Each structure stands twice: as C-alpha cells, then as structure tokens.
C-alpha cells in the first residue's frame, strides 16, 4: 500500500504494434479509456507510433524495491478489497480476500499494459487490490502491490515469474526416473536466492536407488548449508520431515516434470487430491499434469504452490559475471585469483581452479558453474 502522496509520473507502456491512430478517430478506444480516465491526469496525451513505445502520465508513487524502482498506481482504495491471487491464467485470476471469499477477476487495462520485463502483470501469490463489480464475486484487479519475493525463469526473452510472495522453494528432483540433474538444482538455487527465497532440496523417489549412491551429492549441498530431505511416496520416507518444514510457511514446489511434486503434496495433505501421471517409458521424461501455479492451503498451517514442471531452467537477469556470487563455496577462493575479473575458466593462477584441483570445491559444482556461464542446458545423471 502506498504511504506517500501520489504525484504525476511518466510511465512507458507496451509497444503499440498497430498502425498509427488518427487523432480525430479515437472512438474505438473510448470504452477502455473511460475505465482508466478517473486515474489519469487530465492533460495526458496518447498517440500510437507504430512499434515505438507509448508513454502516459499517471498518478502514483515511485517505491524503492530490491530490484530497483517500482511504480505503485494511485487508486481509490475506499472502493477496493485487499486480496491474494490464488491462481492466475492469462488475463483471468482467482483472488481470495481476508474473509475467505474468492473472486473471479479480470485485470484493469492500465495494469496489464504498463511496460515491464515479466510476461504477466499478475501471478499467483500477488497481493492485490480488487474492485468488486457486476455479478456476485466478480471483480477487477486495480493494483498489484510490490513483491517481496518471487521465483522466476527466462522464457522467450521475457521474465516468467512462477509465483510471488513466498518464503521458501522446495526444489524437487528425483533420484531416478526421470534422471537426476545436479545442474538443474544449481539453477534453481540461483533463481531462489535472486528472488529472496530460502531453498530446500528434496530428492524424491529414493526407493529407486541405493541411498549410498546419493551420499556424495548430499554431502556437497549439506556442507554448503542447504536443507536437504530425502523422500519416497512409496515407502513414506521423509514425508514427516518435509511436512514439518512446510508448517506455517508459504512454499513453492518446483522442479522438472515427473519428479513427483504433486504426489508429494498429496502425501503432505490428502485433501489436495492433485492429479498425477506416470513417466513416459519412451524418453524417461515426465508428463505435464499441473497446468498453472495454484496456491493451496494445507492442514498443518501455511500454503503450498504446485507449479508446472519444466525440463530446463533459463536464468533471468543473471550475467555470467554474477554467477560466481551465487556459488557459496567460491567466496573464500575468489580473492586468491590473480586477475580481479577472472572468469575461472582459462586464466592462470585462478583461485577457484586451484581449489577444485585440491578438492576444496566439488568438481560437479564447478562443472555446473561452467555450464551456466556458457549457457548450456543441464545434463542428467543416469543410475544403472
């Protein structure tokens, strides 16, 4: 909620890909403009210029966030209700208010057309202000409040925010079927840390392998201070501990398709009854069963978010020079590099490469680092 008094702010809007609009023929825009007119400056001018970015003057507040400056639109809050987005799909969202009621919502035109890096104006987990209108439990999302945390990835040259305003990410991988991808774990760890989210590594389906095989991998992440839990839906191993880690928290389950995210959540709370699917025997890849991120309340207290599975994770807004900062074990050895801008790949007298050679840094983690800065996709580790 904005605390400062709103002022006139010039903001960019999405590029207008239509032909230039004649100034004396704006009738086709009349309906949309009337909806937003009460929030616009009276002297505002809008012209279409082909592929050029459009600008408007709006009333709002510039608020500092960890990712920069964010514009909070001024609205008449007396006509609005605060709520949380439970599900967002396209321009339609389900918002739950403090009294437990759920509203089917559309997104105000001003909100959805403001220029931004991310694909969707509204995502699951967002705190919003809605204005009820029309039929019962129908509303319009008037404003999206600044996000305190988020989990995102790159998609088609845009940022795709999977979920916002959560406490922790449960990074689910399978010990086998589909094969384990250590590099995918590292990518999720970076995305979580960048989005101000605590990470938990969950290795599922441990009934398919000898747990001793996993000890070297577990040891690497445990020494770095990450929470790790081994689970099996078949045997029930690790389910009580995972349930305790979720108690009272807002958690997102993330990972590739087929690792068992929905099955784990069904074990955590049988009331959820989420749809599950078998692994494809042709390519040993998971099948998509979850279509969109959804916030689900669990019996032990707290919320969980089941997200659609992915087969690769493209990091968003992380330059190769920044990657070393997300590898905790690198921090002590970077000062030992000869060159201050060392990439830890080909340079002589590199502290990181020397630490890898002396087994102070995991070779698997170092290879993961190299793949990430080179933009390579994570490769699986197959168990025989």
209 is in an annotated binding site: no
262 is in an annotated binding site: yes
337 is in an annotated binding site: yes
247 is in an annotated binding site: no
d(C-alpha 259, C-alpha 288), whole Å: 11
281 is in an annotated binding site: no
20 is in an annotated binding site: no
207 is in an annotated binding site: yes
258 is in an annotated binding site: yes
204 is in an annotated binding site: yes
344 is in an annotated binding site: yes
160 is in an annotated binding site: no
16 is in an annotated binding site: no
260 is in an annotated binding site: yes
194 is in an annotated binding site: no
206 is in an annotated binding site: yes
- Residues belonging to the binding site for GTP are 204-207, 255-263
- Residues belonging to the binding site are 204-207, 255-263, 337, 342, 344, 350
- Residues belonging to the binding site for Zn(2+) are 337, 342, 344, 350
């Amino acid at each position: 909620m904005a605390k400062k008094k709103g002022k006139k702010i010039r903001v960019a809007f999405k590029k207008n890909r239509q032909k230039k609009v004649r100034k004396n023929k704006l009738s086709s825009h009349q309906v949309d403009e009337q909806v937003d007119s009460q929030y616009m400056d009276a002297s505002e001018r809008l012209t279409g210029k082909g592929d050029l970015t459009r600008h408007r003057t709006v009333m709002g507040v510039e608020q500092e966030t960890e990712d920069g400056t964010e514009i909070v639109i001024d609205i008449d809050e007396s006509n609005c209700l605060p709520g949380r987005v439970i599900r967002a799909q396209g321009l339609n969202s389900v918002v739950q208010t403090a009294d437990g009621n759920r509203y089917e919502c559309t997104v105000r035109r001003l909100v959805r057309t403001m220029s931004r890096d991310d694909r969707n104006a509204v995502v699951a987990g967002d705190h919003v202000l809605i204005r009820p209108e029309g039929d019962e439990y129908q509303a319009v999302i008037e404003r999206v409040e600044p996000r305190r945390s988020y989990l995102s990835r790159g998609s088609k040259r845009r940022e795709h925010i999977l979920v916002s305003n959560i406490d922790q990410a449960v990074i689910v991988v399978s010990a086998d079927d589909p094969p384990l991808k250590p590099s995918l774990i590292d990518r999720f760890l970076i995305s979580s840390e960048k989005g101000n989210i605590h990470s938990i590594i969950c290795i599922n389906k441990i009934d398919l392998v000898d747990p001793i095989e996993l000890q070297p991998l577990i040891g690497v992440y445990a020494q770095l201070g990450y929470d790790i839990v081994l689970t099996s839906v078949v045997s029930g191993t690790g389910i009580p501990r995972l349930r305790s880690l979720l108690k009272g928290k807002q958690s997102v389950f993330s990972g590739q398709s087929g690792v068992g995210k929905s099955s784990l959540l069904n074990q955590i709370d049988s009331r959820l009854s989420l749809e599950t699917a078998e692994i494809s025997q042709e390519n040993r890849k998971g099948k998509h069963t979850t279509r969109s991120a959804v916030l689900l309340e669990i019996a032990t207290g707290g919320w969980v978010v089941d997200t659609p599975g992915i087969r690769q994770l493209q990091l968003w807004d992380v330059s190769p020079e920044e990657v070393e900062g997300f590898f905790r074990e690198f921090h002590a050895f970077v000062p030992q590099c000869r060159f201050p801008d060392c990439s830890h790949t080909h340079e002589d007298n590199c502290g990181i490469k020397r630490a890898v050679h002396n087994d102070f840094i995991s070779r698997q983690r170092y290879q993961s680092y190299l793949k990430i800065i080179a933009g390579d996709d994570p490769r699986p580790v197959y168990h025989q």
